[in-house]
Amino acid sequence: MSDRGLIVGGLVLFLALVTLPLWFNVAAGTTSKLPELTLPEGKDPFGTAEYMRASHMDLLMTWRDEVVRNQERTVVGLDGKTYAKSLTGTCLACHVNRATFCDRCHDYAAVKPTCWECHLEPRPVQRAAQ
Amino acid sequence: MNVLGSLAVASLLAGLGFVGGQAAGLRPVFGTLIPYAAFVTFLLGVSYRILVWMRSPVPFRIPTTCGQQKSLPWIKSSRLENPSSTLGVIGRMALEIGLFRSLFRDTRVELREGPRLAYGEARLLWLGALLFHWSLLFVVLRHLRFFLEPVPAVVNVLASVDSFFQVGAPGLYVTDVVLTGALGYLLLRRLVNPQVRYISLFADYFALFLLLGIAVSGILMRYVVRIDTVAAKQLALGLVTFSPVLPEKVGPLFFVHLFLLSVLAAYFPFSKLMHMGGVFLSPTRNLANTSRMRRHINPWNSPVKVHTYEEWEDEFRDKIKAAGLPLEKE
């Protein structure tokens, strides 16, 4: 039949598309290594690493709503200290570098958070001046 | 019975995935062995089905004709409904596969007061099917972010278009909502409409429940019971680079998702889901209507031995003549 070439060609194309991750990652030299983060000293006062990895965005959104809608601007951390509910002022005070902390995982998981459209990224120069 | 049976089987499978994700001894089985086995089954099964279909003979042109066929130049022919050229067939197939044109023609029959039989349009099934299939395509393409590193820009664009409404964080994907809604409609349609319910089989419900299970577990993982996405990607990348890793932190819900997907992939070649490949090979759609332009001869017609009147007359000429009967050829 004259259609055989067409059908086999279509099947081969389909198989090539379905197995795309296999050869794409071979070509890109990808391994299953996790992205490396620069972590600050000490413990996070707002939750375990496990909780933070999965739900930090939920925490930030909850803070945002509480600050913007209820004017609840402070939070008591697990260590008993009071913190301002602030991404730039609190979170990024310890997690100094956005590029080697936030972005590493966000790029890895192809997440594009809208945080940085408004929030400023504290630069090391500014910090030194303070 | 079909509904409850398939729901029970799908729930059992989901439970199995949950247990497999929790028991440390079973995690390599559910996280590595079963996904690989399912993927291989999917590839081999789909190829086998297509190759079997490829070998089935299609000697004659049997397209469904829904319009005027090409005849005399002054009679307007319907190029898409009754294509006579390859180009027309390509157009017809593209509209069929991309927009489900034949489903758009669905009709509804009702017995009204009188009694009087009434026919009407039925577009809901078309709409539901279209929304479901396109959403599923988007969802599958979006999932490439877990399987490719570095993530191509196309996938990022897809994700940002999909989370256009910027509801919450992680951003709500429109396709997640549409996919689940459409699946829910397709399921309800089978349950509510008595005629459709009567002809619905176990396999019809099972595919829907499996897909719903996968969709709901995925949505839960993203918006409700959040999981460590980075660990999930590490597992996925481990699988596709043939160096499987089993991160400790991936929750059991992830294993429900993965196991149901594995079941779907392994079940795919043996089920009605093969319409994905089959739609390309439907002779009622992909053949040009050239039945009257060209003579299509069945290629395996066996030669029939015939004995014509002339031959018969030659054989018995003497006897016919002796009996005084008329002859065609003296």
- Per-residue model confidence (pLDDT) at position A92: 87
Contact A7 B237 (CB under 8 A): no
- Per-residue model confidence (pLDDT) at position A124: 59
**Which CATH fold topology does B2-322 show?**
Fumarate Reductase Cytochrome B subunit (1.20.950)
Beta-strand (E) ranges in chain B?
A: 107-112, 116-121
Nearest CA in chain A to B242: A22
Contact B145 A14 (CB under 8 A): no
User: Mean pLDDT: which of B38-42, B247-251, B253-257 is highest?
Assistant: B38-42
- Per-residue model confidence (pLDDT) at position A129: 46
Average pLDDT, integer, range B5-17? 93
pLDDT: which is higher, B192 or A38: B192
Q: Does A105 touch chain B (CB under 8 A)?
A: yes
- Per-residue model confidence (pLDDT) at position A83: 92
Q: Which residues of B touch A7 (CB under 8 A)?
A: 50, 53-54, 281
Contact B227 A108 (CB under 8 A): no
Q: Which residues of B touch A105 (CB under 8 A)?
A: 229-230
- Per-residue model confidence (pLDDT) at position A123: 67
Q: What is the DSSP string of chain A?
A: -TTHHHHHHHHHHHHHHHTHHHHHHHHHT--SPPPP--PPSS--TT--HHHHHHHHHHHHHHHHHHHHHH---EEE-TTS-EEE--IIIIIHHHS--TTTTHHHHHHHTT---SGGGTSPPPPHHHHHH-
Query: Residues 71..110 of B with a Cβ closer than 8 Å to A: which?
Result: none
Contact A107 B151 (CB under 8 A): yes
Q: Does A52 touch chain B (CB under 8 A)?
A: no
The span from the CA of B115 to the CA of A16, in Å, is: 57
- Per-residue model confidence (pLDDT) at position B162: 92
Average pLDDT, integer, range B55-70? 90
Q: Does A111 touch chain B (CB under 8 A)?
A: yes
Domain boundaries along the sequence of chain B:
2-322
Q: Which residues of B touch A53 (CB under 8 A)?
A: 228, 230-231, 249
What integer best gives the mean pLDDT of chain B? Answer: 92
Q: Which residues of A touch B168 (CB under 8 A)?
A: 61
Q: Does A40 touch chain B (CB under 8 A)?
A: no
- Residue B303 pLDDT class (50, 70, 90 cuts): confident
Average pLDDT, integer, range B233-261? 90
- Residue A85 pLDDT class (50, 70, 90 cuts): very high
